[in-house]
Structure 1
Amino acid sequence: METLMDLDQQQLKELRRRGHHLKPVVLTGAAGLSDAVLAEIERALNDHELIKVKLAGADKQSRQEMAERITAQTGAVVAQNIGRVVLLYRENPESS
């Protein structure tokens, strides 16, 4: 599984290019990052490898904490984080 350290700037740039046209496939609600939301992120990463997640949160710090929790629990990499939307990547070994 790749971590941020394994991706160079060119790879991150390519992921951002591929993710530019994507719409968020998972939205966190008022309940925040529940087990159901994490399971949906996990499923979406397995299906698509590159996804956008829209994070609800009152401030930048709480959204940053949610992004860190997602990466810790899913093994995904944050390719980009703009405002309330985070672009996540995790290689699916079964698709290779």
Structure 2
Amino acid sequence: MQLRGKQKRFLRAQANHLQPLFAVGKEGLTDNWLAQLDGALDRRELIKVNILQNADVTTDEVKAFIEDRTDIQVVQTIGRVLVLFKVSAKQELRQLSDRVAQI
């Protein structure tokens, strides 16, 4: 699902109260980290990822790593925090993506 402007604005509003669930630290980006991130997005559809100060990667590198290897979309970048969205694979967990599709 390619997001339009209004849909991104809605998702940013929904993510406003969320705390980052994942962090990128000095270990950097791994396939195991990406698999855990993908699993969490299947359950929640919208999460925040924090890039720690001691991380050896930049925000743009994390964004490219996530978007190139998965169908996860980066909705917003706020400093060292990324807001990520993915439509859940399970129909019963798609409350947020159903609302986004109606916009």
TM-score (norm 1): 0.83
State the shift of 1:37 in Å.
1.4
Query: Is 1:38 matched up with 2:34?
Result: yes
State the shift of 1:58 in Å.
6.8
| Structure 1 residues 63-92: Cα deviation after superposition (integer angstroms, max 9, x where no partner) | 211111112222111111011100000111
State the shift of 1:20 in Å.
0.5
Query: Is 1:92 matched up with 2:88?
Result: yes
Structure 1 ranges of 4+ moved more than 6 A = none
Question: Please, which runs of 5 or more residues in structure 2 have no aligned partner?
Answer: 95-103
Letter in 1 for 2:69: Q
Q: 1:52 corresponds to which residue? A: 48
- Taking the aligned partners of 1:78 and 1:57, their CA distance within structure 2 comes to 20
Aligned CA RMSD, in angstroms, stands at: 1.9
Question: Which of 21, 28, 44 does residue 25 from structure 1 map onto?
Answer: 21
- Taking the aligned partners of 2:87 and 2:36, their CA distance within structure 1 comes to 16
State the shift of 1:36 in Å.
2.2
Q: 1:62 corresponds to which residue? A: 58
| Count of residues in Structure 1 that have an aligned counterpart in Structure 2 | 91
Q: 2:69 corresponds to which residue? A: 73
Question: Please, which runs of 5 or more residues in structure 1 have no aligned partner?
Answer: none
State the shift of 1:57 in Å.
5.8
Q: 1:15 corresponds to which residue? A: 11
Q: 1:82 corresponds to which residue? A: 78
- Are the counterparts in 1 of residues 42 and 89 from structure 2 also a CA contact under 8 Å? no
Other structure's SS at 1:24 match: coil
Identity %: 33
